[in-house]
Amino acid sequence: MNMDLKTTKRRLFGTDNDHEGKRSKQEEDWKHAQKMYGDGVSWFRGVMIGKGSFGCVFIAKLKNFNSRYSLYPPVMAVKSADVSASGSIQKEKEVMDNISGGCPYVITCFGEEITNGESGRMVYNLLLEYGSGGTLADVIKSTNGKGMPELEVRRHARSILRGLSHIHKSGYVHCDLKPQNVLLVANEGKTGGFVAKIGDLGSAKRMKQMKKNKLNNNRPCWRGTPC
């Protein structure tokens, strides 16, 4: 009986060697990423938290947390890709510049920076607000099919609609809105919890451009990525 219990615990939680192996793998991946992509002038590149056709997303931490003159928050998300393959991320930067206006329901962009990786590799980096709560898709999945509480659904839906309204008023259509592209950012106010914010604007299009394309082609214009 005791042996079965020990075996079950090992299966559920893994052995110390398993955890040591995972930590070693994470450290190796982190060091490899640092070599490939390099650190910023004022920030260190941390662990990779996402990957897509555009490149990779890393956590970034400031080198000097106590600097009174830093324009960046202590922790950010950094989208990175080789300069030669960074068209999508640079397009996202352009869109975010054009819709800037302090909307609290759209992910904030803090700027861009070129870093130098190994063998003279030039890397384009987009510095973004970090969603420490993950994505809305992560939260939905964690409910195991039971669904989120109604109050939480209403709160996040309200935030998403306000963010979408701001994007539309700025003359853009998101074109790829889905739970994976809604990030949950820690709320620093008295209420705590997380605020849903719209991110991943690399597929966004100007409304005027979409109307023009539709008139010329006389057929619907499909954009976005699979869920």
Residues annotated as catalytic (active site), given as ranges? 176
β-strands 172-173, 205-206 pairing: antiparallel
Task: Give strand pairing partners of 109.
Answer: 128
Contact between residue 130 and residue 77 where contact means Cβ atoms under 8 Å apart: yes
β-strands 194-198, 43-52 pairing: unpaired
Residue 152, token pair as written in the block? 């939480």
Nearest to 141 by CA among 185, 106, 180: 180
b/e string for 177-192 if b means 16 or more Cβ within 10 A? bebbbbbbbeeeeeee
